[in-house]
Structures are given as C-alpha cells and as structure tokens.
Copies of this chain bind each other. A is one copy, B any other.
Amino acid sequence: MTRRVNEPIWMRPESVPAGRPNERSRAEITAAAVAIADRDGLDAITMRRLASSLATGPASLYRYVANRDELIDLMVDAVAAEYELGGPSGDWLADLVAFAGQARTIMRRHPWVVPLVIGQPSIGPHSLDLIEHILAVLGDHPAPTGAKLQAFAMLNGVVALFVQNELAGERRRNGQTIAQWQAAQAAYLHHIAAQGRHPRLARAMTPDPAAVAATDDALDLLTARIMEGLLGGAAAATDRD
C-alpha cells in the first residue's frame, strides 16, 4: 500500500473498491470532531477522545486522516459547507456584507474556527466554492484578482476579529473559569489605574453608560467601510433606495 500523504487529503480517494471496506467515513469522523470542538473547544480534539467518541481506538483514525492537522482541515472545510451562496445580486458591496454576516453566524456557531482563520489551512472543495463565489460577486469589478483574493482574506479576518471580540468571556483559559480570570485581570487593572500613571486608562475603567453595544449593524458598517476602502469605494456608489 502506498501512503500518499504528500498530496492534500482532497486528492486522496476516500476508499478503493477492494479489500476490507471502511467501517466509517471521513464525513462521519469530521462531524464527530466538529461536535466535540463546538462543545469543548479545539484543544478537546485529541485523537483519543475523538476515537472514543466513535467507539474505536486512536490508531484507527489514521486510516482516514494522515495526522491531526489534516483532521482540522476537514473540520474547517465542513464548516465552509454551511454557507448558503446565492448568485451575485449586482451590488457587490451588499453581497460582501451579506457574506460577512453569514460568516459571523457560522463563526459564532463554531467558535474554534476563529483562531484558524489566521493561519494556513489547506483549502478544501467547499472553501474553494467560497472563493469562487466571491470572485463571481466581484466579477465586474475592475480590481486585479490578487487584490480581490486579498480583500477576501481581509474580510474573513475582520469577521473573525469581530466575533472574537463578541465572544470574549465565553472561552476558558487553563482550567480557571473565565470569570475568575477576568476578575483577576480586573483587579490588576484597578491596581495599575490606582498608581496614576495611566490616567486615560483609569478614566476608561469607570463604567460608561453609553457603552458600545455590538449590534448586527456594527459588523455591517465595519465590513462595508473596509471593503469600500480596499476595493475602491468611489467606483460604486452604495446608497440604495
């Protein structure tokens, strides 16, 4: 048997019609992994835990996946399949903003993808569909393709940053409850503020009645401004009705 691990998982056939047949499938394993990560985060994805959640041994997983990173590639691509991609509406900016909105709900559903966005995951078929969709949306746009791809990367990243901010406080850190951790952090901040060498920080710590509320509009505005800035807002007037 040849062990073709040098090519990406997307090019390796999942099974061949010979020998003992698979008892599981990549999709099944991926779904189980996503379920674990949704509940307990990316660190909870260990080969042993995933295996036992599938009622098998850790070694068996390596028949489906060359290593843990490849498993995560599968997970990311599975999440990319959750987008609902319509055709271009004619208003590229609106389409990009709508895409960002979908990205937000998907990232909130799968918080573990947030840190993966900054990184170099192997691009799978569903991720390629996303790229194709963005290129279609920007079909009439005069920018070079490289700029469009970079804009797409930036769009994903900005949404990730936004969601990360939204979800701050829901993740846990090193066994400690996030509440404990935040309380300890706050104690330190007060300590620093009391020293008087950070006056503006100190003033920022008095609770502000007009606190910033993260509404859905906030992301829309943010992404619209950024994409306008990146892809030349002047070329397309974006006020509808």
User: Which residue numbers of A lie inside 8 Å of B, CB to CB?
Assistant: 6-8, 10-11, 67, 69, 114-115, 117-120, 122-123, 125, 128-129, 131-132, 135-136, 139, 144-147, 149-150, 153-154, 157-158, 160-161, 164-165, 168, 171, 173-174, 176, 180, 184-185, 187-189, 191-192, 198-201, 203-204, 208, 210-212, 221-222, 225-226, 228-230
Are B6's CB and A176's CB within 8 A? yes
List the 9 closest pairs (A to B, CB-CB), nearest first. A225-B229, A146-B212, A135-B200, A157-B161, A145-B204, A132-B198, A7-B184, A8-B188, A132-B201
Closest to A10 in B: B188
One complex includes copies of this chain to the number of 2
Closest to A131 in B: B201
**A114 surroundings in chain B (CB, below 8 A):** 118
Bound complex: CA A128 to CA B174 (Å): 23
**A135 surroundings in chain B (CB, below 8 A):** 200-201, 204
Bound complex: CA A158 to CA B188 (Å): 28
